[in-house]
Chain A
C-alpha cells in the first residue's frame, strides 16, 4: 500500500511533457466512491428535509412547538403547515433506504482512506502543510491569490496548496466525523446504547439541526472544490483523478 500511495518526490528533472503519476489508485477509487455516495446522500437528504422543513433546538420539536427556523418550501407531508396549498409526493421511503445505504458505503470507504492516510505517508506528505506555509505572510498571499481566482501555476498540479490542504484536513477530520456523529445521534436505537452521542449535542432535535448545518458546510466545500477544479483546468484535473496521470510541461518541482 505504501508504494501505491506514494507520489514521486524526487527532485530529479524530467524531460518536458512527460506523463507521470499523480494520484494513487486508492485515492482515486475512494474519491469517486465518495463522490457517488455524497450525491446520493445529498439528494436523499434534501428529500428528507422536504418532508419536514422545520428545525428545532433541544430534545423535541413538532408542529405544536416553536421552531428555530423554517425553510420556506412546500412539504411532502400534509401534517406540516407550509403556506403552500399543495403537498408534494412522498419520497421518504426510498430516500431513507438510499441515505443509510450511501452512508454505510461512504463510512466504510472513508475508513479505508483514513487507514491508508496514516500508514502510507499520504497525510504527512500531501495533506499536512509545512510550518513555513502556515506563516501569516504565506497564508495571506495564498488567500489573496485565491480571492483573485488566479489560475494555479503548473507546479501546483503536483501537490496540494496550503489552503487546499487545510480545507481537505477540515473536511476529513472535522466535517465528516461531525456529520456521522450528528447522524447517529438521531438514531433512537443507537442512542439507547450510546446516550452521550445525543446528550452532548443538546438533544435529538439539536442533532438534526446540526446534521443539516454540517451537510450545508459539506455542500459548500463541494461547490468550491468543483469551482477550483474548473479554475485549475477541468480536463487535466479530471484526468489526474481518473487515470492518475498528469502531463508535465515542465521540470518537476
Chain B
C-alpha cells in the first residue's frame, strides 16, 4: 500500500466516522427538540424528517396567509364523503343539540363541551385557503374558537407533545404537535362565510389547520386527546394518514 492510498484511506475513515457520529448527534438533538415526525420509519423517513424538522424550525410561529373578503371563493368545494354513519345522522336530525366534544389525556380537568358552550367563547374568524393534496383549493372565511382557548380551559400538562383529534366517523383521526395545537390560527371551526359550517365542509365542528393540507383538517370532531406519546394510538404511526400511506405532517 502506498503512502498516498493509506493517507486517503485514513482521511476517508475519519470523514466517515465524523459523518456517522454527526448524524447520530443530529438525530439525538432532533429528537430532543421535537423535530422527528411519528412516521419517520421506513424508506421515506429521511425526507419526512428533513421536511418536518426544517419547517418546524422555520415556521413555528408564522401565520398562514389571510385574504381579503373579495377573494373568498364563490362556492366552497363540497367534497363528498362516504355516506355518514348512523351516529352522525341521529345528531344531525336533532339539530346537533346533543353534539359533544370531549377532551381527555394529559389535562387537569377532562371535560365535555356542547356546541353552544363552544360558541359562547370569544369567536375568531380567518379567511384562509384550504388546499387539498390532490391540487385544488378554495378560500373561505372560517369561524370558530381557537383550539388554544379550549386547551387553556382544561389545563394542558407541561409534558404534552401532541393533540390527537377524532371524527365521529370511524377510523378518521389525526394528530398535531403542540406548536400547531397552540397556534393562533388552529380553530375548532363551527362557521363558514358568516353561516353555520355546512355538513359537506365538516359541520357542525371541524378542526381547521390552515398551514397544513386539507386532510389534516378533520371533519365532524367529537374528541380530543392530549398526549406525550403517539405510539398507543392506532398503529403507532401518529394518525390515520400514515396508516393509509400518507404523510403525518402535511405542511408541504
Residues of chain A having any CB pair with chain B under 8 Å? 48-49, 51-52, 54, 59-65, 77, 79-80, 92-94, 96-98, 100-105, 186-193, 195, 198, 204-205, 208
| Contact in complex: A187, B252 (CB < 8 Å) | yes
Contact of A60 among B48, B134, B139, B212 (CB under 8 A): B139
- State the CA gap A198–B129 with chains docked (Å): 13
Q: Are A104 and B58 touching (Cβ within 8 A)? A: no
Contacts of B112 in A (CB 8 A): none
Instruction: Name which of B59-67, B149-157, B195-203 contacts chain A.
Output: B59-67
Whether B108 is near chain A, meaning CB under 8 Å from some CB there, is no
Most buried by B among A80, A103, A187: A187
A96 in contact with B133 given A104-B51, A189-B59 (CB within 8 Å): yes
Q: Is the interface of A mostly helix, strand, loop or mixed?
A: helix
Which one of A51, A100, A195, A198 contacts B47 once the chains associate, using CB atoms below 8 Å? Answer: A100
Contact present for A188 and B64 (CB under 8 Å): yes
Additional pairs, 10, CB under 8 Å, beyond known A96-B133, A188-B252: A48-B135, A64-B75, A92-B246, A93-B245, A97-B247, A100-B51, A188-B212, A189-B252, A190-B252, A205-B137
Expressed in whole angstroms, the Cα–Cα distance for A205 and B131 within the complex equals 10
Contact partners of B251 in chain A: CB under 8 A: 187-190
Q: 10 nearest interchain CB pairs? A: A101-B47, A93-B245, A189-B251, A52-B135, A97-B44, A62-B136, A193-B62, A187-B252, A52-B134, A192-B62
Interchain CB contact (< 8 A) of B134 among A92, A104, A188, A195: A92
- Distance of B197 from chain A, by nearest CB (Å): 18
A-facing mask of B215-252, CB < 8 A → 1, else 0? 00000000000000000000000000000111100011
Question: Does A104 lie within 8 Å of B47, measured CB to CB?
Answer: yes
